[in-house]
Every structure is written in C-alpha cells, then in structure tokens.
C-alpha cells in the first residue's frame, strides 16, 4: 500500500500538508492509500472531504501515538 506521510511540515508556500496531500493524490492511481498526518494540520472531517475529491473514502482510522493513520480506498 502506498504511504503518504504528511507529519512533517516543509517550509515554503507549497510545504503545508494539505498542499502536499492534494499534489500526491492528484498523481496517484492506487486503490488503497495509507495517509499519516497530524490532526492539528488537517482535521479528520477536512481530510474526508479532500480525499473525496480524488475519489477516495476513509476505510479505517487509527490513532498512533501523536498522529493519525487513515486507510483510504477508492470509493
């Protein structure tokens, strides 16, 4: 399963996790994706709406230490 790791913020205008998530999803063609992120960066509801735009939905949410893992599958 492809992993999109958004836990670390990169500097610059395109470094925010939301921008990176959009960029990665735009180029991916996978049925299942694992997304790691911090809830302070992307609230879960926002993530659901954002991935929906690329045809994914949340299949599973796991709280791991101080971050969250979401398994997204093609809807």
Partner 1 sequence: MGDWCLSLALNVNVIREDFPLIKDRKIVYLDNAATTQKPIQVINAISNYYMKFNANIHRGLYELSQEASKLYEEAHGVVAKFINAGSWEEVVFTRNATEGINILAQALVNRYLKPGDEVVISIMEHHSNMLPWIRLSETYGVKVKVVGIDSDGLLDYDELSNVLTPRTKVVSITHASNVLGTLNDVRRIAKLGHEVDALVVVDGAQSVPHLPVNVRELDVDFMVFSGHKMLGPTGIGVLWGRKDLLEDLPPVLQGGDMIKYVGIEVKGGVLINHRIIYNDLPWKFEAGTPNIAGGIGLAEAVNYLIRLGMEEVRAHEVELTRYALRRLDETLKDDIKILGPKHPELRSGLISIAFKGINPHVVASLMSTKNIAVRSGYHCAQPLHEYLGVYDGTLRASFYIYNDVDDINAFISSLEEVINVLSK
Find the shortest distance in angstroms from Cβ 13 to partner 1.
5
Read off the tokens for 55. 């045809």
Residue 71 binds partner 1, judged by CB under 8 A: no
**Inter-residue contact 47 to 12 (CB < 8 Å):** no
- Residue 6: CB atoms within 10 Å: 22
Residue 53 binds partner 1, judged by CB under 8 A: yes
Burial class (CB in 10 A: 0-12, 13-18, 19+), 37: buried
The region of 31-39, 45-53, 55-63, 67-75 touching partner 1 under the rule CB under 8 A is: 45-53
Which residues of this protein are in contact with partner 1, per CB under 8 A?
A: 13, 16, 18-19, 22, 41-43, 45-46, 49-50, 52-53
């Amino acid at each position: 399963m492809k992993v999109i790791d958004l836990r670390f913020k990169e500097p610059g205008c395109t470094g925010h996790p939301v921008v990176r998530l959009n960029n990665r999803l735009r180029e991916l063609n996978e049925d299942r994706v694992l997304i790691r992120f911090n809830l302070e960066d992307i609230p879960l509801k926002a993530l659901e709406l954002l991935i929906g735009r690329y045809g994914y939905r949340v299949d599973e949410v796991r709280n791991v230490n101080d971050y969250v893992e979401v398994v997204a599958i093609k809807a």
